[in-house]
Structure 1
Amino acid sequence: MNQEKAVVVFSGGQDSTTCLFWAKQRFAEIEVVTFDYGQRHKLELDCAAQIAKEQNVKHHVLDMSLLSQLAPNALTRQDIAIEEKEDGLPTTFVDGRNLLFLTFAAVLAKQIGAKHIVTGVCETDFSGYPDCRDIFIKSLNVTLNLAMDYPFVLDTPLMWLTKAQTWKMADELGVLNYVQEKTLTCYNGIIADGCGECPSCHLRKRGLDEYLLEKSEGGLL
């Protein structure tokens, strides 16, 4: 196990919870940080707090409400429909979100003596979000190190995984059922399997079905 300390950017969703367990296997000490940016469903904050409590990790919640004022989006505004567009980014995209979240996570990490920052961004199943791309993460990593003269490492364990492979990782970590039952990924604020209708639920279910089929065909079920 790496004896260094890590901060996990944590929403209580499938990806960040899988990253939390990934980090717990690798680092001697873990703390998590959740951002309150005026999201529609405060249940996301409660879900993150509950998982952090159950996993006995220190939980920081930072106020990022200014983000919803600057960048109106379907995740913070009830009057904006959640929809995917063929000619542009989904209405759930929040300009600057990962840039700001990772920057504030880095400020926190330096204060508590953590070098590693773990985030669940993914370029494979990323819904077209530009701030989930590997090139952005690498660029920001250099910028953060220069800005604070500190050797940050942005860890992205899910970067090249499909959603099915993310479920596989959770299973290999021994937490597939926990992730399935405890996390909140649904844009309509329903824990576990969600509403079944929003884009996030479709992606989550399709990945789980693909993984379970693969596991079954491999004789592992």
Structure 2
Amino acid sequence: MARRIASSGIIAIAALVATSALASDLEVIEAPEIDVSKSVAAGGWYIRGDLGYSGWIKGGRPRITQAGATQEFDERRFSRPLSYGLGLGYQFNDLARADVTVDYSKDDFRGSAACAGGPCAFKADYSAAGVMANGYVDLGTLAGFTPYVGVGLGATYLDWRDAACGGAGCPGAWLAGQDGLRFTYALMAGASMDLASNVKLDFGYRFSDIAGGDAFRSGAGGMDVRDRGIQKHEFRVGLRVPLW
């Protein structure tokens, strides 16, 4: 009986030792740590600079009022497609940002119409300086590119220079240019990519619409020319640089 008990004890001890050795040889698998802390969204102030190219500048047909009669221009054309912009903005989070921008452009205008006394042709320059408040929604980043859409509201100071008038219907060689502040809105879409830490290259499309107003006036001949707004389709490229 004693031998059986001793044998059983030896077998139990051997099994325990073998189990311990096997356990020591097994590699301990650690559970991955789960970070439950809230991620911090990118944010902060930035400055921006933009260069725009207007592939298409369109204006509603200007109207001439003379001797109580009103008629539209037969033809009109704009040139000088470049615009320049600077702005200050704030990135609220990964989705939303806003900025205030100042834009400047100059343009040439050519147009012709059948005036009361015969045909007349006009040639003039104008400059446009606008201030816009813009809001954007970034749509997420894919392959390093962040597409976005945006909308802007503001005002543009449009300054028409004196217009040269040629033709039998002109009341004089020159018509006095008019100026004024006009409501403006814009719609934007594009994408940005990182050049460095938070420094972004921005490229996209912008449609802007400047409200109509007085363009030229001739006191002697009683001729008033009123444009019917200017719409621009622009391709723009720029940089956004963080301040802090």
Structure 1-normalised TM-score? 0.26
Structure whose residues are more often strand by fraction: 2
Q: Which has the higher helix share?
A: 1
Q: TM-score, normalised by structure 2?
A: 0.24
Query: Which structure: larger Rg?
Result: 2
